[in-house]
Homo-oligomer: A and B are copies of this chain.
Amino acid sequence: MSVTMADIAKECGVSMMTVSRVLSGKGSVSAKTRDKVMQVARAHNFAVNSIASSFARRKSNFVGLVAPMDRIVGSDYFSQIWKGVNDALKVTNYDLALFDYHSSEFAGGARVQSLYHSRKVDGILCVTPTAEDAFLDTTHDQRIPLVVLGKPVNNPQICTVNCEDYQGVIDMAEYLYNQGHRRIAFLGGPKDWSLAQLRVDAFKDFCQRRRLRVPKRFIAHSEYTPESSYEAGLRLLEVPHRPTAIIAGNDISALGIIKGAHTLGLRVPEDLSVAGSNDYHYASNTEPPLTAIHQPLRDMAKLGTRTLLDALDRNEPPTGHLAVKTSLSIRQSTGPVPR
């Protein structure tokens, strides 16, 4: 029905192999033959049937991106991840297939197996902040080329690419400390979220190093949503000896805290400094503009994707643990400790 290599070959008076070589750029062909084939192929608008090609090569040239789409697709987080993945992919001949991560289906690894074994993606990028490690272990155990983006994983065999989240929290805490703050609180995220936990740990370590005695309630948790962080913010602030600064585990939480502060009649940053941990696009557009740990997520995703592709090229499993540096975006939601 549509034009095939055999058609092109016949019209050029050469074998299919020659056409294949010209079109794939692999193997040598005389300039004259090459030109002829190219010309005829172009005239027919011929494009190699990549399914047939994949079938013959046993390689799909698809990378699978597994993510809990419901939770993250609309987020700036995913946006940056996406762009980074694309940055890496667009200079290759890989395309992207997306797969939704539902914990129920994925937990046992059954779905990822069908992904890899059935859909034959060549490798998998996981952006699953809430994923059970068990899922990742299963995937890894099946010898599926896997890179996990943006979260720490217990199994050291699994290749991960992260931001230096731990150091980012330390840096932000140091900055607030240098602004004179001593009653600093931290609003963490869901406890089953390893990255959220990592940030809490960083804050605790900072307190210990600086010998800050922090009341237990200064280390709070929210669901990283506007509502729950608003509530958590109120709880943190509606007490005597409230904190003078709060670091939130994500930007959304920071905005919730600011809203809570306003409800209580507190000014930000005059009465309370609030910092976020993502530096999303809208962070500079809030009132007041948000101070945040800047995470180069796009770079992270690009690096992670390249790590996966490099491993695929070398035909070995991806390994190692890479991290990209964070920085601080200091804006107007933080300032010196109130006197």
Task: Tell whether, in the assembled complex, residue B2 and residue A117 are in contact, meaning their CB atoms are under 8 Å apart.
Answer: yes
B-side contacts of A119, CB under 8 Å: 50, 95
Number of copies: 2
Task: Tell whether, in the assembled complex, residue A47 and residue B98 are in contact, meaning their CB atoms are under 8 Å apart.
Answer: no
Task: Tell whether, in the assembled complex, residue B100 and residue A90 are in contact, meaning their CB atoms are under 8 Å apart.
Answer: yes
In the assembled complex, A208 has its CB within 8 A of some CB on chain B: no
- Smallest beta-carbon distance A94→chain B, Å: 11
B-side contacts of A70, CB under 8 Å: 83
B-side contacts of A285, CB under 8 Å: 226, 255
Give Cα A79–Cα B73 distance, bound, in whole angstroms.
5
In the assembled complex, A218 has its CB within 8 A of some CB on chain B: no
Measured CB to CB, the nearest residue on chain B to A64 is B95
Task: Tell whether, in the assembled complex, residue A51 and residue B55 are in contact, meaning their CB atoms are under 8 Å apart.
Answer: yes
- Smallest beta-carbon distance A72→chain B, Å: 9
B-side contacts of A75, CB under 8 Å: 74, 79
Task: Tell whether, in the assembled complex, residue B83 and residue A69 are in contact, meaning their CB atoms are under 8 Å apart.
Answer: yes
B-side contacts of A99, CB under 8 Å: 95
Give Cα A95–Cα B96 distance, bound, in whole angstroms.
11
- Smallest beta-carbon distance A159→chain B, Å: 22
B-side contacts of A120, CB under 8 Å: 49-51
Known contacts A47-B118, A226-B285; A95 and B97 CB within 8 A of each other: yes
Task: Tell whether, in the assembled complex, residue B79 and residue A74 are in contact, meaning their CB atoms are under 8 Å apart.
Answer: yes
B-side contacts of A255, CB under 8 Å: 285
B-side contacts of A52, CB under 8 Å: 55
Measured CB to CB, the nearest residue on chain B to A53 is B118
Task: Tell whether, in the assembled complex, residue B54 and residue A51 are in contact, meaning their CB atoms are under 8 Å apart.
Answer: yes
- Smallest beta-carbon distance A85→chain B, Å: 10
Give Cα A3–Cα B86 distance, bound, in whole angstroms.
33
B-side contacts of A226, CB under 8 Å: 285
* A 123-161 binary contact with B (CB < 8 Å = 1; else 0): 000000000000000000000000000000000000000
* A 63-80 binary contact with B (CB < 8 Å = 1; else 0): 000000110011110111
B-side contacts of A78, CB under 8 Å: 73-74
- Smallest beta-carbon distance A83→chain B, Å: 7
- Smallest beta-carbon distance A156→chain B, Å: 26
Give Cα A117–Cα B41 distance, bound, in whole angstroms.
13
Query: Can you offer 22 A-B residue contacts whose CB atoms are under 8 A?
Result: A2-B117, A45-B113, A47-B118, A48-B118, A49-B117, A49-B118, A50-B118, A50-B119, A50-B120, A51-B54, A51-B55, A51-B60, A52-B55, A55-B55, A69-B82, A74-B74, A74-B78, A74-B281, A90-B100, A95-B98, A95-B99, A98-B98
A-to-B contact residues, CB < 8 Å? 2, 45, 47-52, 54-55, 60, 62, 69-70, 73-76, 78-80, 82-83, 86, 90, 95-100, 113-114, 117-120, 226, 255, 259, 281-282, 285, 287
Extra contacts besides A73-B83, A90-B100 (12): CB < 8 Å: A2-B117, A47-B113, A47-B117, A50-B119, A51-B54, A51-B60, A69-B86, A74-B74, A74-B79, A95-B99, A255-B285, A287-B287
